[in-house]
Homo-oligomer: A and B are copies of this chain.
Amino acid sequence: MTEATRRDFLHGTSALSLLAAASVVTTAPAAETRPARKAYEYQHSPLPLPYASGSLKGLSQTLIQSHWENNYTGAVKALNTLRARLVHAASDADTPPYVYTGLKREQLLRTGSVVLHEIYFTGLGGDGKADAALRTKIAASFGSYDAWEAEFRKIALGIAGGSGWVMLGYNQSLQLLENYWMADHATAPANTTPLLVLDMYEHAFAMDYGAAAARYVDAYFANIRWDAVSRRLEASA
């Protein structure tokens, strides 16, 4: 794996576009020029799904299309609008800090939504089968692959009926592969690279499964693109 490719997979957005068009030559800027993007002016562009919205098993085109368009794209738009609001509030000396943090909270919530949705959609489109090398790595951390899957599913069902995310992540500080419970888009383990995330907000399944969250989790597992998880792990750990 070249350094450029490695860096691309480290970044969720690049990974997504790469998966969408695998033959495209990457044009990532050289490391020394980063970060060049403007924190305040930056406007994010929604990334297209890296597969046809009707191509997943057990997750309808209507659901995936609505999820991508209304929830993910909606979060992108809100985030872009919030930046303009933040610029205005920051330049207004009359804005009290606690009004400013109200905006920052909304920014964090939408940032999490954008980032997590991109990793979620990137993690689907596969056959649900983890290769032996990855299963071995997961087993090394969790005792067995099945123990990992059991905990991941248990967290999902504990959230079901409410909202939140489940994450398999590599905690860079603790140097641990762990599963995390996340209450909403703004909850996350600090300094952790997400490898696989499961959206448990009801917009991710209610249209297809109503309240039958366990069946949605089955469908999710059947569509995991494990090679994306492997590459993210390889790039991060």
Contact = CB atoms under 8 A, between A and B. Distances in A.
Most chain B CB within 10 A, of A151, A162, A191, is at A191
A100 interface: yes
Nearest to A186: B187
B66 A81 contact: no
B12 A172 contact: yes
Interface stretch (A39-47, A49-57, A221-229): A39-47
B161 A70 contact: yes
Contacts of A18: none
Most chain B CB within 10 A, of A12, A162, A183, is at A162
The copy count of this chain in the complex is: 4
Given A38-B143, A162-B184, A171 B103 contact: no
Contacts of A106: 98-99, 101-102
4 A-B pairs closest in CB distance = A101-B158, A202-B202, A97-B158, A70-B211
Given A70-B210, A111-B190, A119-B190, 20 more contacts: A12-B173, A12-B191, A13-B173, A35-B175, A35-B237, A37-B141, A37-B175, A70-B161, A74-B211, A90-B150, A97-B156, A100-B154, A101-B155, A101-B181, A105-B181, A108-B181, A108-B182, A115-B189, A161-B203, A186-B188
25 contacts: A12-B172, A12-B173, A12-B191, A13-B173, A36-B140, A39-B141, A39-B177, A40-B142, A62-B210, A71-B161, A78-B98, A82-B99, A85-B99, A97-B157, A101-B158, A104-B180, A108-B180, A108-B187, A112-B190, A115-B173, A119-B190, A162-B184, A162-B185, A190-B197, A202-B202
